[in-house]
């Protein structure tokens, strides 16, 4: 037998009953970003592999293990983007968007790809909304990004379920000094490290700080602290950020082991985490990357941003019961038409209703059928009201109006009054 076609493991279809929640979430975020003065940018899904090697770092797990990389017909090495910041930086450099020194506040949305072990809240194709800001170096813009997300959690009804974790990685030079001290400390205890941490010791030792191995975490209790190696500039910047969050009443905790998994971060890093989703607790994360634009061939340009995982936040909304009840209904009104003449009139009448009520969700029966079968379809659609148009109604230029979700009686409404009657009924 021919093997049934199916989606690639870890790459999921989003079905019609799921998309209303996705659209609600995406629309809420887009409206919020519009209100803060951010402009949308759209980048390709595929980039040259070198972009991610130069930006993320060749010895990160993403580049070493997780990227979907292939050669095209020209022999070029291409990669499905594993994250959005590098692609956004490439775009602003290519088009000269940051070259005038003016602040640029951008956002994007779309799929990302990493070859990971699929599990709940962690997929090989996943979707992110990302925000990037260029040419602003102070802690005020860091605070704005965090305040923006805090406002979003409030709008979605999930503030009580998330925690803001903060840290500062300092400048490249300060982090280098800390890296040397950490490597010296761990090298003296090499036999106590788990195998993954031993591998990271020379390539990316800061990632050992967020190891999930209990024995390694116990060993790190006495390890050097990054905060003790911060330069004065980073310390002042971090104090400024905390002062602004305190003034805005945004709660946070300092997590000295928060380092993020990408090489380009410096100074501020942050994560919004939850304990409601099991192991996949990070729903939004980001930080400052002041050296990345220069590293990729541009002029020294401060940058800061974050990305949020749409799948995880959708899952959190569902877990907490914060899905608006209105999303369960995709149709407001179902129009039943019995007979060919009624079907012709129904097409005209439905388009007139859409002209008069642009937000009306109106489904017209297709495929004919008896009154009984059409009424079953109307009920199954989830509509609040059914409209019934048959020979008798056609002759008198009226339409039957039947509530489907309560015990209201069917009424006869003149065509000319139908739009106003529907508007009132839907607002009730």
What lies within 8 Å, CB to CB, of 397 at 6+ separation is 414, 415
Give the helix/strand (H/E) hosting 414: strand 411-414
Considering the domain boundaries, does residue 10 fall inside one? no
Do the beta carbons of residue 264 and residue 56 sit within 8 Å? yes
Within 10 angstroms of residue 303's Cβ, the number of other Cβ atoms is 28
- The predicted-structure confidence for 331-347, as pLDDT tens digits, reads as follows 999 999 999 999 999 99
Regarding whether 264 and 153 lie in a shared domain, the answer is yes
- Domain assignment present for residue 279? The answer is yes
Q: Is 168 left (phi over 0), alpha (psi -120 to 50) or beta?
A: beta
pLDDT reported for residue 365: 97
Order of all β-strands in the sheet with 398-403: 362-364, 333-337, 385-389, 398-403, 411-414
pLDDT score of 56: 76
Residue 205 lies in a domain: no
- 265 and 124 in a single domain? The answer is yes
Phi, psi angles (nearest 5°) of residue 117: -80, 115
Residue with tokens 């995880």: 312
108 neighbors 41 (Cβ within 8 angstroms):
yes
Q: What is the rounded distance in angstroms from the CA atom of residue 257 to the CA atom of residue 207?
A: 9
If you search the block for the tokens 């079953």, which residue do you land on?
376
Max intra-chain CA distance, the chain: 94
User: What's the CATH code of the domain at 154?
Assistant: 3.30.930.10
Tell me: do 374 and 306 sit in the same domain: no
Which of 297, 319, 341 represents a domain boundary (last residue)?
319
Distance between CA atoms of residues 388 and 398, nearest Å? 9
Total domain count for the chain? 2
Judgement on whether residues 333 and 262 belong to the same structural domain of the protein: no
Orientation angle between helical segments 139-156 and 19-35, nearest 10 degrees = 140
Residue 2 domain-assigned (yes or no) = no
36 and 136 fall within a common domain:
yes
Task: With respect to residue 141, please indicate whether it lies within any of the assigned structural domains.
Answer: yes
Residue 119's beta-bridge partner residues?
122
Phi, psi of 80 (to 5 degrees): -70, 130
pLDDT score recorded for residue 251: 98
- List the domain range (segments joined by +) for residue 122: 19-171+231-319
Q: What are phi and psi of 130, to 5 degrees?
A: -120, 150
What pLDDT, on the 0 to 100 scale, is given for residue 2? 81
Same structural domain for residues 73 and 41?
Answer: yes
CB contact set of 86 (below 8 Å; sequence gap of 6+): 47, 51, 52, 55, 56, 264, 292, 296
147, two tokens: 């305040």
Distance from the Cα of residue 261 to its chain's centroid: 18
Task: Examine the domain organization and report whether 289 and 356 are in the same domain.
Answer: no
- Tell whether 311 and 423 lie within a shared domain: no
Is 211 inside a domain boundary? no
In a domain, 176, yes or no: no
Same domain, 39 and 157: yes
Which of 291, 319, 347 lies at the terminal end of a domain, its last residue? 319
For the chain, state the CA radius of gyration: 28
Q: Is residue 198 part of a domain?
A: no
Find the CATH number of the domain harbouring 350: 3.40.50.800
Would you call 149 exposed, middle or buried from its count of C-beta atoms within 10 A (0-12, 13-18, 19+)? buried
Q: Where are the alpha helices (DSSP H) in 157-213?
A: 172-187, 195-203
pLDDT value at position 173?
85
Interhelix angle for 139-156 vs 232-248, to 10°?
A: 30
Last residue of a domain, one of 319, 346, 373: 319
Residues 125 and 268 placed together within one structural domain of the fold = yes
Distance CA 104, CA 292 (A): 15
| 356 and 289 together in one domain | no
Residue 261 near residue 200, CB atoms below 8 Å: no
Q: What is the pLDDT at residue 279?
A: 77
Q: Helix 418-427 crosses helix 340-356 at what angle (to 10 degrees)?
A: 60
Q: Are residues 167 and 51 in the same domain?
A: yes
Contacts of 373 by beta carbon, 8 Å cutoff, 6+ apart: none
User: Which stretches of the chain drop beneath a pLDDT of 70?
Assistant: 1, 57-61, 260-263
Determine phi and psi for 241, rounding to 5 degrees.
-65, -50
By CB atoms closer than 10 A (0-12, 13-18, 19+), residue 275 is exposed
């Amino acid at each position: 037998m021919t093997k049934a076609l199916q989606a690639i493991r870890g790459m999921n279809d989003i079905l019609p009953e799921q998309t209303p929640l996705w659209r609600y979430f995406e629309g809420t975020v887009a409206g919020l970003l519009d209100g803060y003065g951010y402009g949308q940018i759209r980048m390709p899904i595929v980039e040259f592999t070198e972009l991610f090697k130069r930006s993320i770092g060749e010895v990160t797990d993403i580049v070493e293990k997780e990227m979907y990389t292939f050669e095209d017909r020209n022999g070029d090495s291409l990669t499905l983007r594993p994250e959005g910041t590098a692609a956004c930086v490439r775009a602003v450099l290519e088009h000269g968007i940051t070259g005038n020194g003016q602040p640029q506040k951008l956002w994007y949305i779309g799929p990302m790809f990493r070859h990971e072990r699929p599990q709940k809240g962690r997929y090989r194709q996943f979707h992110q909304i990302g925000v990037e800001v260029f040419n602003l170096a102070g802690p005020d813009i860091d605070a704005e990004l965090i305040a923006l997300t805090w406002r979003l959690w409030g709008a979605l009804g999930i503030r009580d379920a998330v925690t803001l974790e903060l840290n500062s990685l300092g400048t490249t030079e300060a982090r280098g000094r800390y890296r040397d001290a950490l490597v010296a400390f761990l090298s003296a205890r090499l036999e106590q490290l788990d195998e993954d941490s031993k591998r990271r010791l020379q390539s990316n030792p800061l990632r050992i700080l967020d190891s999930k191995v209990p024995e390694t975490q116990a060993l790190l209790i006495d390890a050097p602290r990054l905060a003790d190696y911060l330069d004065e500039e980073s310390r002042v910047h971090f104090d400024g950020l905390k002062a602004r969050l305190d003034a805005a009443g945004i709660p946070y905790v300092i997590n000295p082991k928060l380092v993020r998994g990408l090489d380009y971060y410096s100074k501020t890093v942050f994560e919004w985490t939850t304990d409601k989703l099991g192991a996949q607790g990070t729903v939004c994360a980001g930080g400052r990357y002041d050296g990345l634009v220069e590293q990729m061939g541009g002029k020294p340009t401060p940058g800061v941003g974050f990305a949020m995982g749409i799948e995880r936040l959708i899952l959190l909304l569902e877990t907490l019961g914060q899905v608006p009840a209105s999303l369960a209904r995709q149709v407001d009104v179902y129009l039943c038409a019995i007979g060919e003449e009624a079907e012709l009139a129904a097409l005209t009448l439905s388009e007139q209703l859409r002209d008069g009520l642009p937000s009306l969700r109106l489904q017209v029966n297709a495929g004919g059928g008896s009154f009984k079968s059409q009424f079953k379809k109307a009920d199954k659609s989830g509509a609040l009201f059914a409209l019934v148009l048959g020979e008798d109604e056609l002759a008198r230029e009226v339409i039957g109006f039947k509530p489907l979700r309560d015990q209201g009686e069917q009424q006869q409404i003149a065509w000319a009054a139908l739009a106003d009657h529907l508007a009132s009924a839907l607002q009730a």
